[in-house]
Chains A and B, each alone.
Chain A
Amino acid sequence: MELQIRDVSKTYPNGVQALKDVTLTIPAGMYGLLGPNGAGKSTLMRILATLQEPDAGTIHLGDLDVVRQKDAVRQTLGYLPQEFGVYPRVNAEELLSHFALLKGIGERRARKEVVEALLRQTNLWEVRRQKLGGYSGGMRQRFGVAVALLGNPKLLIVDEPTAGLDPAERVRFLNLLSALGENSAVILSTHIVEDVSELCTRMAIIDRGEILLEAEPLGAIDEMKGRIWRSVIDKGALDGVEREHAVISTRLLGGRTVVNVYGGTHPGAGWEPAEPDLKDVYFSTMAGHIGRRRGQLEVAA
């Protein structure tokens, strides 16, 4: 089932325009929505999850109109919000069973079966009788996944799922998500580039409410080949480099600064070609060297 987002806009009462004419096509599989904090990812995700209303535009999930046929959409929707709480004095089994009932699994035996399966899959079976108030962040996040998976959703919306997880848990969690992508359309919003590069077959980069790039991660990286150059410089020299070159990212390495620049041609001595990765795609897009912002920058210039 394909998710079609056409010209969706949303402006908050305080004047912030969270989405500007967003148009995306999201096929089955893992889809990454990458962007900095405040880019409008969560707004888009909540709109897809029927919790917010777009000011304009249409969204279709197959034949369903997401804005108008909310009830029908909710029947095939799994949603893991960026932040959520739990009833601290209820145990995982009870609460999951409650949500299973809300998702239309009315028959008691079926519900029991589903709850057990999901708790085992998310590795919470051992602690199913423990009160949720005592869960760690990772356990709670996995519980959220279990809730999202109830009812075999066709559309799974996962908003910033790895924020706040420790590295080991993040790995486990990404494994879980990758397994999911085989059954349904999974939209993963994140500001961590690695999440996308490791998981997603398609992705979009969003910033200030606009989609800057829609691509397949591997293809996008391919296209960057020969355009990224790297140099290791002293901290003090950065200002000069920035004046002369299109710097897309810097990072520290052993007290010195590693600079990546974008350029069609070799920038000169001291620069070596770098093997591009998704980060370079992301930063180039944000900096306006590729993607939708490129044209805008030229106009502005």
Chain B
Amino acid sequence: MKLLGIFRFEFAYQVRRLSTWLPFAALAVVAFLFIRENVVTDALYADFYLNSPYIIAVATVFCGLFWLLVAAGVAGEIAARDVETGMHPLTYTAPVRKAEYLGGRFLAVLAINALILLAVPLGVVLAVYASGVDAQIIGPFRPAAYLTAFAFLALPNAFLGAAVQFAWATLGRRSVASYVGSVMLFGVVYGGIFAVMYFLENQALAVLLDAFAHLTIVDMTLGWTPIEKSTRLIGLEGALLRSRLLWFGIAVAALAFTWARFRFEHLAVRPWWSRFLRRRDAHAPTPAGGELARGPISVPRVPQTFGWATRARQVMDIAWTSFRVIARSRGGLIVTVPMAVIAVMVLPEHMQDQGTPLLPRTEYVLSFLTASLTNPFTVWVIIPMLTLLWGGELVWREREAGLGEITDAAPVPEWVPFLGKFLGLGGVLAVWMAVLMMIGILIQLSLDYHRFEMGLYVKVLFGLQLPQYLLFAALALVVQGLVSQKYVGHFAALIVYAFILFAGQLGIGHKLLVYGAAPDWYYTDMRGFGPSLGPWRWFMLYWAAWALLLAVVARLLWVRGLERGARVRLRLARGRFTRGTIVFGAAAAGLVLGLGGFIFYNTNVLNTYRSAAGVLEVRAEYERRYGRYADVPQPRLAEAQLRVDIHPRRRAAEIRGTYHLVNNTAAPIGTIHLAPAPSVRTTAVTFDRPARRVNAEDGLWHHVYALGTPLQPGDSLRLSFTVHHAPRGFRNGAFDPVLSVTEASTYFRSQDVLPAIGYQAARELLKPGERRANGLAARALVPTLADAEAGQDITGQSMSTRERIAFEAVIGTDADQVAVAPGTLRRAWTEGGRRYFHYATEARIGSYSFFSARYAVHEERWTPAGGGEPVTIQVYHHPAHAANLQRMLRSVRASLDYNTRAFGPYPHGPVIRLVENPGRGMGAHAEATTIDYTEGFSRYNPGGDPRGLDMPFAVIAHEMAHQWQVPHAYAEGAPLLSESFAWYAAMGAVEETYGREHLERLRRFFRQPGPIPPIRQSAPLLRALDPYAAYRKGPSALFAMSEYMGEQRVNLAFRRVIEPHRTASLPGATSMDLYRELQAVTPDSLRYLLQDLFAANTFWELATERASAKQTAAGAWEVTLRIKARKVTVDPAGKETEVAMDEWIPVGVFAPTGQGADFGETLYLRSHRIRSGPQTLTVTVPKRPSDAGIDPYLLLIDLERFDNVEEVEIEG
């Protein structure tokens, strides 16, 4: 068997080679890191085994993607080695058939790749069993888990990948073509998935297209319980089997095509299509070349010069040639064309939030087109990847063409080709940036947006993004230039890049240690670049100095001539130590040291630098040392008087504050525990009575003061302090968005700057894994409902839930800015070139924020319908961001109307403010009297929403409802009183303004699996904390109750919960308080439903199996529904218990639908008594029905939302 012979030879040859074992090692390392870095904490947190089949499958899929790239060389080498080494005249003429030749080699490709992929289980096993893993998350060793993942996931992926790589390299006759094949496969698969998901919104088709089973595994296991995730094996069935079969077929087709196209022929120089392009050239006769000149050769004597001018010309010549080589190569600039087409087609679809389109402002479009070099989670990793490939091609160009000896013997110093190639590569990258700019403008055009900020495009793409890529290009060339074997060079460069990408995960957080890293810059319309560019520039200069130093190293060790041994190259390097090199190298080293020192001085001396682990350690130490004071009685903060001075130009702020503390306990208090905010400097802490600090300063932000005379029960004391915030140089981390004082705008929250009273449990470590790693005992995420019911003090448990206080502040800022704080504006004045604002609250408030910027202010007045105090509505916004102003105002007015009627008067006095807040996020956030929304919110473009849903209106209505929310305890079930309530109330405002149909649009959005996917295994709403319960299930449950028994009753229950807190300062309300009030208003017949919705985690499984109708003699229509009903409760571990059903559920019959609506005219809608199991109902309707079903408006919690209503089959 020749095929077997060829296979055996190839396999034996490859298995001895380094190029096989390097990817093997890399894959093992990646698998190891994947498990250790990503899964260990998840496993600790989510209670499944580290070595569960699920995790092994996920690791296999993830590593498979990595394999596609790092191991592509194997297929390329086997497929194209004969041609590349010039062996093909021998092998092609051997008496071997195509099928044997290709088959044997492909089998070898497959076998070697299977061998390489064995590194994945090896890495997983090492990660699981090597020391350092908590033994309790390691499950039993199950060979089947590894075998199924290998057989069902790794091998099919390898077959497909190898087939494509092999086909590309065989037909392209170049080994590097296999990489191109890999990249193309990756692009086609993910581009296809992307397109199908976003254009067709067809998840099933997307899963089918998922060649690497990446999406499929996620999709398959989404609904798995922790127990299933720990134990269930991945089976080759369903969607997985279908997509595996499809892609197996495609791989076989690729191989068949390769077999059909392949010829045992000598390599023609030109590709086949050039025959059509350059006929003249192709058929030109080859002149034989006549007799040579007889006499002496006479070459004109022209001067040879080796000065700077010549060097510059040489560099430019090499740069231009290099640029052209990449630009014209198959994997070169041509790839920007499909990329641009895809980007222009796909990205606009992405420019939406929660389904609402966003205005493609330039700063926003740029956020899609740029990415930090160190960010692995972006499609733009393709640029550094291609840079690696191109760098290799350029460095090896002469040697691969066989011109290496001639060029190496030319009188050109090593730095000339290095610099030339670098500039050529840089030119290509610059063209990329231009293409990206064009993509951005085309996207804006396609969305009918015409404010192109060209200056911003140029600055960001060419001024900020390009330098990072250039640094990387220099690195790629250096690595390739130092390594004397091309694929080892690719590989080494890839490892270096992987290090850059994953340094953070490896625990290397300081940006001085990761090539090309810098604190991220940011840009928003309001803030501009702010202070983010300064540090970024310093880091870039520092890395540029490194690049120079690397270039010097490259010059010294550049592979030139035929010597490859390390010792000889070092000797050669000694010969290359010219004066210029020494001076240049010393200058570069000096710059590295100088700039590095300067940066270090800023990040580690002026500021404190802590690694990620260091930060956790400090928090752990805080708990260890001061946790014992958690239950020490402390006075409560009742009043805060602040003088806030903001100095935008200095980026500084100073707060002088006085706290009014009251002893509400029954015993005297002798010590005060003060917790200053970690991100600022707190000084001048004084009391209105003798007191002294009794603990030494330990950098843990906990001060203990002993009072000269204890504070008696009911007595109060005054505590004064000064808080300073001023930038000291710059930090290693990104610019701190929670405490942002910049020239253009200021925003900070009370909890981030002001001292708190007592031990702050909120500063403790939360994640079980982090606690365990730091030797701390497990703790509950939040206090239990039972604790809260018992009236436990929850101050300090959460950053945002603090005691409710009376607040007064004078806030000063620059004359051209407006400063905002909570409460009524008592007075505003200008003094000494600064503006001052005096605010005071009417009612007690919780946490609060300060703002200052050059705001445009809109103001209007709202008067309650039934008379009462008018409310002033103010909107502070960036002057250019007024697009949604009217929409937001309409929402505020509607909310004031609805909530006042439903829950009582607006509780915070005569003003409500909407304040735009600088930053990239989309969110809005409510505090007493103030709703702040990030700049992104002003990008909403609901006019273009295909669903016709006014999302900004709904979100503002939600935030408005928070103004009425009852002060609640920070405990289990709290989201029911805050987020669920706010959405429930917002639904009322939406319905009142836009009608029932619009409300249904909003409810339909709530039922979508994104952005908040359903969570089945959870606690009942009364104790739940997860986002699904808070934002989706809670509002739905409240809405269901309001539909079953009337909105008035539910609102009344809330009103009764809220009312007592209006006047008195009571302990925070709990979900039980609400439940009791709901019980009070619920008729006995519906108590079961209240219990099902709130006190149990209940899911209904209602389905209409068949709906049919026939016309009666009287002309009416008799509709028969075959229904299946089931009800289960699910506990947090995922255990399901079926509950018998016997309850009233609406049944509806509808006429044919009009445009866009769910249903047509309602022909019938009445509750029926439904029991568990299959059952049949018959109703009569006057008109010809179109749709019929059970619970048509999905009032009950039913995760399968498409089977409730079916089309009616007309009989007879």
Contact A84 B292 (CB under 8 A): no
What's the Cα separation between A142 and B410 when bound, in Å? 18
Contacting residues, chain B, for A77 (C-beta < 8 A):
409, 411
Q: What 4 A-B pairs are tightest by C-beta distance, nearest first?
A: A85-B402, A133-B269, A51-B561, A106-B310
Whether, in the assembled complex, B296 has its beta carbon less than 8 Å from a beta carbon of chain A, the answer is yes
Q: Which of B182-228 contact A (CB under 8 A)?
A: none
Within the complex, the shortest CB–CB distance from B316 to chain A, in Å, comes to 9
Whether, in the assembled complex, A204 has its beta carbon less than 8 Å from a beta carbon of chain B, the answer is no
Whether, in the assembled complex, B303 has its beta carbon less than 8 Å from a beta carbon of chain A, the answer is yes
13 more contacts with CB within 8 A, not counting A117-B300, A118-B299, A133-B269, are A49-B405, A51-B561, A75-B306, A84-B403, A85-B403, A101-B310, A101-B313, A114-B299, A127-B286, A127-B287, A133-B270, A136-B286, A144-B406
What's the Cα separation between A122 and B293 when bound, in Å? 8
User: Which of A86-94, A222-230, A237-245, A268-276 forms contacts with chain B?
Assistant: A86-94
Within the complex, the shortest CB–CB distance from B88 to chain A, in Å, comes to 15
Whether, in the assembled complex, A74 has its beta carbon less than 8 Å from a beta carbon of chain B, the answer is yes
Whether, in the assembled complex, A163 has its beta carbon less than 8 Å from a beta carbon of chain B, the answer is no
Provide the A119-151 mask, 1 if CB < 8 A to any CB of B, else 0: 001111011001101111011001010010111
What's the Cα separation between A160 and B293 when bound, in Å? 21
Q: Which of B527-574 contact A (CB under 8 A)?
A: 560-563, 565, 568, 571-572
Provide the B298-341 mask, 1 if CB < 8 A to any CB of A, else 0: 11111111100110011001000100000000000000000000
Within the complex, the shortest CB–CB distance from B313 to chain A, in Å, comes to 5
Contact A175 B292 (CB under 8 A): yes
Whether, in the assembled complex, A179 has its beta carbon less than 8 Å from a beta carbon of chain B, the answer is yes
Whether, in the assembled complex, A81 has its beta carbon less than 8 Å from a beta carbon of chain B, the answer is yes
Within the complex, the shortest CB–CB distance from B400 to chain A, in Å, comes to 8
Number of interface residues of B (CB under 8 A): 52
Within the complex, the shortest CB–CB distance from B396 to chain A, in Å, comes to 12
Contacting residues, chain A, for B833 (C-beta < 8 A):
none
Q: Please give me the residue from chain B that is nearest to A77 by CB atom.
A: B409
Known contacts A84-B406, A104-B306: does B561 contact A52 (CB below 8 Å)? yes
Contact B287 A126 (CB under 8 A): yes
Contact B406 A79 (CB under 8 A): yes
Q: Please give me the residue from chain A that is nearest to B325 by CB atom.
A: A87
Within the complex, the shortest CB–CB distance from A187 to chain B, in Å, comes to 14
Known contacts A84-B403, A86-B403, A179-B296: does B565 contact A13 (CB below 8 Å)? yes
Within the complex, the shortest CB–CB distance from A188 to chain B, in Å, comes to 15
- Which of A86, A134, A150 touches B286 (beta carbons < 8 Å)? A134
Whether, in the assembled complex, A63 has its beta carbon less than 8 Å from a beta carbon of chain B, the answer is no
Contact A53 B571 (CB under 8 A): yes
Number of interface residues of A (CB under 8 A): 66
Whether, in the assembled complex, B291 has its beta carbon less than 8 Å from a beta carbon of chain A, the answer is yes
Q: Which of B389-422 contact A (CB under 8 A)?
A: 397, 401-403, 405-413
What's the Cα separation between A126 and B297 when bound, in Å? 18
Whether, in the assembled complex, A70 has its beta carbon less than 8 Å from a beta carbon of chain B, the answer is yes
Within the complex, the shortest CB–CB distance from B427 to chain A, in Å, comes to 17
Contacting residues, chain A, for B397 (C-beta < 8 A):
87
Contact B401 A86 (CB under 8 A): yes
Contact B403 A172 (CB under 8 A): no
Within the complex, the shortest CB–CB distance from B395 to chain A, in Å, comes to 15
Contact B406 A176 (CB under 8 A): no
Whether, in the assembled complex, A191 has its beta carbon less than 8 Å from a beta carbon of chain B, the answer is no
Contact B406 A81 (CB under 8 A): yes
Contacting residues, chain B, for A126 (C-beta < 8 A):
287, 289
What's the Cα separation between A70 and B269 when bound, in Å? 36
Known contacts A123-B292, A131-B269: does B402 contact A86 (CB below 8 Å)? yes
Q: Can you show 14 pairs from A to B with CB atoms below 8 A apart? A: A46-B405, A49-B409, A51-B560, A71-B411, A84-B403, A85-B401, A85-B403, A101-B313, A121-B292, A121-B297, A134-B286, A138-B289, A144-B406, A175-B294
Whether, in the assembled complex, B281 has its beta carbon less than 8 Å from a beta carbon of chain A, the answer is yes
> DSSP class of B's interface residues: helix, strand, loop or mixed?
loop
Whether, in the assembled complex, B1212 has its beta carbon less than 8 Å from a beta carbon of chain A, the answer is no
Q: Please give me the residue from chain B that is nearest to A83 by CB atom.
A: B402
Within the complex, the shortest CB–CB distance from A30 to chain B, in Å, comes to 13
Contacting residues, chain B, for A51 (C-beta < 8 A):
405, 408-409, 560-563
Contacting residues, chain B, for A85 (C-beta < 8 A):
401-403
Contact A179 B300 (CB under 8 A): no
What's the Cα separation between A111 and B299 when bound, in Å? 11
Contact A114 B292 (CB under 8 A): no
Whether, in the assembled complex, B284 has its beta carbon less than 8 Å from a beta carbon of chain A, the answer is yes
Whether, in the assembled complex, A249 has its beta carbon less than 8 Å from a beta carbon of chain B, the answer is no
Q: Please give me the residue from chain A that is nearest to B270 by CB atom.
A: A133
Q: Please give me the residue from chain B that is nearest to A73 by CB atom.
A: B411
Whether, in the assembled complex, B867 has its beta carbon less than 8 Å from a beta carbon of chain A, the answer is no
Known contacts A75-B304, A86-B403, A117-B300: does B269 contact A134 (CB below 8 Å)? yes
Contacting residues, chain B, for A74 (C-beta < 8 A):
409-412
Known contacts A53-B568, A53-B572, A183-B296: does B409 contact A88 (CB below 8 Å)? no
Whether, in the assembled complex, A162 has its beta carbon less than 8 Å from a beta carbon of chain B, the answer is no
Contacting residues, chain B, for A198 (C-beta < 8 A):
none
Contact B405 A121 (CB under 8 A): no
Whether, in the assembled complex, B455 has its beta carbon less than 8 Å from a beta carbon of chain A, the answer is no
Q: Which of A236-262 contact B (CB under 8 A)?
A: none
Whether, in the assembled complex, B1156 has its beta carbon less than 8 Å from a beta carbon of chain A, the answer is no
Whether, in the assembled complex, B132 has its beta carbon less than 8 Å from a beta carbon of chain A, the answer is no
Contact B575 A105 (CB under 8 A): no
Contacting residues, chain B, for A88 (C-beta < 8 A):
269, 401
Within the complex, the shortest CB–CB distance from B514 to chain A, in Å, comes to 36
Whether, in the assembled complex, B295 has its beta carbon less than 8 Å from a beta carbon of chain A, the answer is yes
* Residue with the greatest number of chain A CB neighbours at <10 A, chosen from B290, B401, B571: B401
Within the complex, the shortest CB–CB distance from B329 to chain A, in Å, comes to 10
Q: Which of A168-219 contact B (CB under 8 A)?
A: 172-173, 175-176, 179-180, 182-183
- Which of A46, A86, A113, A135 touches B300 (beta carbons < 8 Å)? A113
